[in-house]
Chain A
Amino acid sequence: MRVVLTAGFDRALHAVALAELVRRAGHVVAAVLVVQPLQTRRVRQWLRQRGARSLFDAARRLLGASGARSADRRMEEFLRAHGIVERSLRQWCRRHAVELRRVRDLNAPTALEALRSARADGVLYAGGGILRRGFLEAARGRVLNAHSGPLPAVRGMNACEWSLLLGHAPSVTIHVIDEGLDTGGVLEQIRIERDSSDTIDTLRGKCVVAGVEGLLRALGPLEGPLPTRSNAASSARQCFTLAPVLRELLEEQLGRGGAS
């Protein structure tokens, strides 16, 4: 099977892991679409949604400072455990002679052209922003995502955190991306095991690893008909980035071994 992979930035470790494990599973990564992170529009949107403080962390990740967050450390361990040596999509694509296309936006004509010319059976989404109708049509609706929360209950951003705050067990949902926000048909719900030492960051790390593994398992179903959106898919209120006061509250809860 031929798949296209998307990513929000070149050093996205989970995307590197996904690319390599897809290849090892005997499939073809036909192209990798990477969004250029340093665009005024993206930086402004980031600042609005997450605040200035998060920029420092984001900059470290963009520069590949592994261990910047424990979530990244967990992915680093995952890469080592699987003997994956590349730490950027650029390295991985060069080594395996896969086309890497840097785009300003996944919905831009250049991205759609690359997607069509790849003649892929499906797309594995590993970041890069909201997908519009044009991209979904070019992919014939065959785009899969790993969402770090239970769907349809927890849609949107910071899903791992919101799962805990809203009283849901942490989980990852493998689902089809459609025109709604986290509303596409669900392929698999993966429960994340918690332990008493978990923090928000470690749980996010577990979710990312589970998401990579779940997307790999979804390659089988990707060859057949995909599930469609359920009636309840868009009924839940959308989640946005956590305000500092609720983040502190959640950290306190986790510190006390609470939250679901």
Chain B
Amino acid sequence: MTHPQLATLERYAAHRAAALAWLVRGIERGDGGSCAHFSIALGWSRPYPETTGYLIPTLLGSADEHPELQLRERAVGCGRWLLSIQNADGSWNGGLHPPKPNAKPSVFNTGQILKGMVALHRAGAGEPFLEAAARGACWLASTAQSDGLWGGGDYRASQTPSYYTHVLWPMLEVWLETGDAQVRTSAENGLATVLRRIRPNGVIARWGFGDQPRAFTHTIAYALRGVLESSRILGAWDEIGVRTRPALETLLRRAELGGGRLSGEFDDEWRATANFECLTGSAQTAINLLLWEHQEPDLRIVNGAAKLVDRVCSTQHLRHPLPGVRGAVAGSWPIWGRYMTLRYPNWAAKYHVDALSRLSTRVEREAEALCA
């Protein structure tokens, strides 16, 4: 039975198609991977292994709807490129590619690439992807400390930031496929450590890039997503996932009060510390709200997610003459904000596509219930 075609869902489809087309342009200029970002002044950047990795599930997820974009072929191409630059120990380096001479293996980047490897394996793209994922996850587990986190290899902080739950989650995804108990145990240890950092107000200590008490919504959302997805895989919503509820309630309320405009940064008392929006953080927060709502259905949560998505859509140019801007999502809004200043990162477009897909699916499910 068909459900009604809502005008807003059609609008969402147009925004999603434009963002996907932009991502494809970034892959075409990525020398095998996906360009990290587009800048009006500097053009397309070098490819970024980390985000190329987690872009893959997004491409595969939209492949059937957009055959003209050849998303499956591009996802496999990105995956092969990542295989070609994997280190012998199973890790991947940090930063853009090609790496600097002194580049080190990166815990976080390796974790993100695992998502792409697992997604390609699940899509039937071949055994090498699972083998690469298994080796990457083994490297992560073997380099983790007894608390399940990593002493070194962090981006800017002196201790492993809490958004590294976004590494623990893909480790568990690999465990689902390989059954490697060491990987699961290591990820669970890390998760337990991060859960101990949760404060009564929902803030997870050290969820920002550095050691300061403030964090972009981008890393806040990473931290929460890692917990939400880990709880899903472990079937432990009541023990683990539910711990994100206070933070998500606060973000929902802030999103609603701002009509979809969410401050790009908060301190550990939930005070907004930015006069710009971190658009990728807003899109990621919308996804987190929808993941939460999947566990605790309530259209009021969907409403907040929709406002965040609408807000990001309102900043996206669908007919801009510059191909590097058309369909892209800026790091900050206004674009001169402190997060990815004057740039359009590929992960912002990726999360926008993911948020649009999840929201559309959720609303379609509600619409289908109408016709049942």
Contacts and interface: CB of A to CB of B under 8 A. Distances in A.
Interface of A: 47-51, 162, 165-166, 237-246, 248-249, 252-253, 256, 258
Interface residues of B, number: 28
Nearest to B364: A249
Contacts of B249: 237
B366 to A, nearest CB: 6
A166 B249 CA distance: 18
Given A246-B299, A248-B6, A249-B6, A48 B261 contact: yes
B258 A48 contact: yes
Nearest to B259: A48
Nearest to B4: A252
9 contacts: A48-B259, A48-B261, A49-B259, A166-B299, A237-B298, A244-B306, A244-B310, A249-B367, A252-B4
Contacts of B363: 245-246, 249
A165 B370 contact: no
Contacts of A48: 257-259, 261
B253 A238 contact: yes
Interface in B260-303: 261, 298-303
Contacts of A51: 259
Contacts of B298: 237
A243 B307 contact: yes
B7 interface: yes
Contact of B6 (A242, A245, A256): A245
Contacts of B6: 245, 248-249, 252
Given A48-B259, A245-B8, A240 B303 contact: yes
Interface string B302-324: 11101100100000000000000
A256 B370 contact: yes
Given A248-B8, A249-B363, A243 B253 contact: no
B366 A243 contact: no
B257 to A, nearest CB: 8
Contact of B370 (A166, A239, A245, A253): A253
Contacts of A50: 259
Contact of B306 (A239, A245, A252): A245
B231 to A, nearest CB: 21
A238 B359 CA distance: 21
A122 to B, nearest CB: 30
Contacts of A256: 370
Contacts of B310: 243-245
Interface in B329-372: 359, 363, 366-367, 370
Contact of A243 (B7, B258, B261, B303): B303
B269 to A, nearest CB: 21
Given A51-B259, A238-B253, A245 B9 contact: yes
A243 B306 contact: yes
B370 A246 contact: no
Contacts of B303: 240, 242-243, 246
Among B9, B300, B301, the most chain A Cβ lie within 10 Å of the Cβ of B300
Given A238-B300, A248-B8, 13 more contacts: A48-B258, A48-B261, A49-B259, A165-B299, A237-B301, A240-B304, A243-B302, A243-B310, A244-B306, A245-B9, A246-B302, A249-B6, A249-B370
A238 B301 CA distance: 10
B256 interface: yes
